[in-house]
Amino acid sequence: MTQPSASRAQPSRRQWLATALPLAGAGLAIALLPTAPRAATPTPVEVWKDPNCGCCQDWVDHMQANGFAVKVHATGNNAVRARLGLPQTLGSCHTALVGGYLLEGHVPASDVRKLLQQKPKALGLAVPGMPVGSPGMDGAVYGDRRDPYDVLLVAHDGSTRVFNSYNKKAST
């Protein structure tokens, strides 16, 4: 009976390197590939609204569709609005908190993002009333009507200035 030669039983160092180096190189190449960007963590928003208000829920849906994680308190918003110091004249059907700022009414998500980027010294943003065409007050149920409205930046003393204006009528 003959025994296998040593060269067959174990690969030589040269054979091992010839096999291992390309595999190591492939692993390094894979490790250096750019990774896919991770999805941004949704920005938390806390909302107080009437439990039966459909337009408030539509605004919540708008915020969620735009990357916000919304926690809803269906207990009404009058008490929280008063506690936060928002003048009654700027009131609407729901009140929210995001990043230390108050949001009152149907504020577009794009304006909320802009507020969070700019970080002005302010109480927050308000869209007084319930203007048709604002997020949550839009769509086919309103005949696709778009009334002009302003998003107001509310200072801590209750004064306001226009933060963004939506004063263009939709073409028919």
β-strand partners of 48: 73, 95
pLDDT of 119 > 90? The answer is yes
Kind of pairing between the strands at 101-105 and 124-127: parallel
Pick 43-166's CATH classification: 1.10.10, 1.10.3470, 3.40.30, 3.40.50: 3.40.30
Nearest to 118 by CA among 161, 149, 148, 83: 161
Q: What is the pLDDT of residue 40?
A: 75
pLDDT of 4 > 60? The answer is no
Q: What is the pLDDT of residue 167?
A: 84
Q: Where are the domains of the chain?
A: 43-166
pLDDT of 85 > 70? The answer is yes
Residue-wise pLDDT tens digits, 42-77: 999 999 999 888 899 999 999 999 999 999 999 999
Residue-wise pLDDT tens digits, 124-135: 999 999 999 999
The CA-atom distances, in angstroms, between 116 and each of 101, 110, 124 are 8, 10, 10
How far is the C-alpha of 154 from the C-alpha of 121, rounded, in Å? 9
Q: What is the pTM of this model?
A: 0.75
Per-residue b or e along 28-53, where b marks 16 or more CB atoms closer than 10 Å to that residue's CB: eeeeeeeeeeeeeeebebebbbbeeb
